[in-house]
Amino acid sequence: METAKLEKTENAEEIVIRRVKGSEFNQVFELVMDAFARARAGLTGLDVRRRRRMARFYRLVSGFLSLFDILHIDFETVLVAVCGDKVVGEVHVVPHGRRIWSIESAAVDARFRGRGIFRNLMKEAVGYIAQRRGERIVGIFLTSTAAAAKVLRELEFEIFEERSLMHLEIRETPLFDIKSDLSIKALQKEDIQQVYEICKRVDQTRMETYKFVPEDLLDSFASRLRKKIASIHSKKWVLHRDGKAVGYVSLTYTSPEEAGNIEPFYILPSENSSELASVLLSHVLNFLWTNNVRRVLVKLNKDYAETIEVFLRFGFKHVAFIGDVMKKPAYENHTETN
């Protein structure tokens, strides 16, 4: 990508935005850690050794990005705002297949905020993805962050879902009896179609936005490799009633130092939805307890009052509302593929 130049700082140093260099990943790591320090300390926790291993891996991979461009291979990268030899902002972009990309993080050094760096990073990220013929960009942001919301509106991102971010400190193993007609098993290939129908029925907008297909329920080779590198473990379970799938949950976790993440958590609507949600959630929390993970996060559609009530009864606390956003970047001869 071409280097984008911004206005000069007070000491006449110019800020430029470009793709990260391998030697800058340690700075990016420190910037992201500082930017989200309060949230990580109170919610997600932090395994510094794991994060540094990830930084070393991306530093090695960055040397192949130009080759990937020549071969038209999409690969995640980081765009940085640089002042002199200092990284003062970053945005992390990730391809997901079917020309869908996500923005995984965006951070600006506190000493350089208020200078339009976040706006220009996001603008460059949209351009970077458009150059690679991306058709959709998705991301999340805290709806209470007025500055971020303003920039996203200016760049024509649209909110397609609002969710409640909830957090739990697991202080004891939950007890919940499972009736004889219920069972919980790891996701198998024979479950795929039934689980896909649950996903479509419960969260149709998200499925359409991400162009979700049944095969996406199984991790691709690239996804498994990324998780292996990042030391991310995952579990996917299906709740059955009399042999029929009625619920689905996916859990990712890393180490006892960091919080697990429940996403998604789907229960087919019925007169027994609360009971079914309690059974499935109890299973997840027992698994985390057994594996010494003592904190967990979940993001639930704010309109799913019944499911949210179940999580509240288990001790989860609402942290913030987040907005899921989507944008279709323009590129020459763009045509939407179904």
Q: How far apart are CA 46 and CA 86, in angstroms?
A: 24
Spatial CA neighbour of 79 closest among 145, 132, 127? 127
With beta carbons less than 8 A apart as the criterion, state whether 266 and 249 touch: yes
Strand-pair partners of 159:
325
Token pair, residue 235, equals 């579990």
Question: Which string of DSSP letters, residue by residue, matches 47-67?
Answer: -HHHHHHHHHHHHHHGGGHHH
Strand-pair partners of 239:
184, 247
**223: Cβ–Cβ under 8 A, 6 or more apart, which residues?**
none
Cβ count near 338 (within 10 Å): 3
pLDDT of residue 222: 63
From the first residue on, what is the mean pLDDT of each consecutive set of 10 residues in the chain (338 residues)? 54 79 84 69 52 62 65 76 93 88 90 92 94 91 87 93 94 80 94 96 94 88 65 91 95 85 95 94 95 93 95 95 90 46
Question: Letter for the amino acid at 85?
Answer: D
With beta carbons less than 8 A apart as the criterion, state whether 328 and 128 touch: no
Instruction: Supply the Cα-derived Rg of the chain in whole angstroms.
Output: 21
Q: How far apart are CA 250 and CA 261, in angstroms?
A: 8
pLDDT of residue 235: 95
With beta carbons less than 8 A apart as the criterion, state whether 207 and 214 touch: no
Q: How far apart are CA 134 and CA 112, in angstroms?
A: 30
With beta carbons less than 8 A apart as the criterion, state whether 137 and 210 touch: no
CA torsion 145-87-255-274 (nearest 10°) is 20
CATH of domain 166-321: 3.40.630.30
pLDDT of residue 332: 46
Q: How far apart are CA 212 and CA 206, in angstroms?
A: 8
pLDDT of residue 338: 40
Helical residues (DSSP H) of the chain, grouped into ranges: 25-35, 37-39, 48-61, 65-70, 117-131, 146-154, 192-202, 204-209, 221-229, 273-290, 305-313
pLDDT of residue 212: 92
Spatial CA neighbour of 266 closest among 231, 229, 239? 239
Range(s) within the chain of domains with CATH label 3.40.630.30: 4-134, 166-321
Per DSSP, the three-state class of 10 is: coil
pLDDT of residue 37: 63
Q: What is the pLDDT of residues 103-124, one digit of tens each?
A: 988 889 989 988 999 999 999 9
Q: What is the pTM of this model?
A: 0.83
Question: Letter for the amino acid at 328?
Answer: K
Strand-pair partners of 184:
239
Q: How long is the chain? A: 338
Question: Which string of DSSP letters, residue by residue, matches 184-234?
Answer: EEE--GGGHHHHHHHHHHH-HHHHHHTT--GGGGSPPHHHHHHHHHTT-EE
What is the residue whose two structure tokens read 């013929």? 133
**64: Cβ–Cβ under 8 A, 6 or more apart, which residues?**
75
Cβ count near 199 (within 10 Å): 18
Tell me the CA distances in angstroms from 48 to 40, 52, 58, 230, 237, one per residue in order.
Answer: 11, 6, 15, 12, 29
What superfamily does domain 4-134 belong to in CATH? Gcn5-related N-acetyltransferase (GNAT) (3.40.630.30)
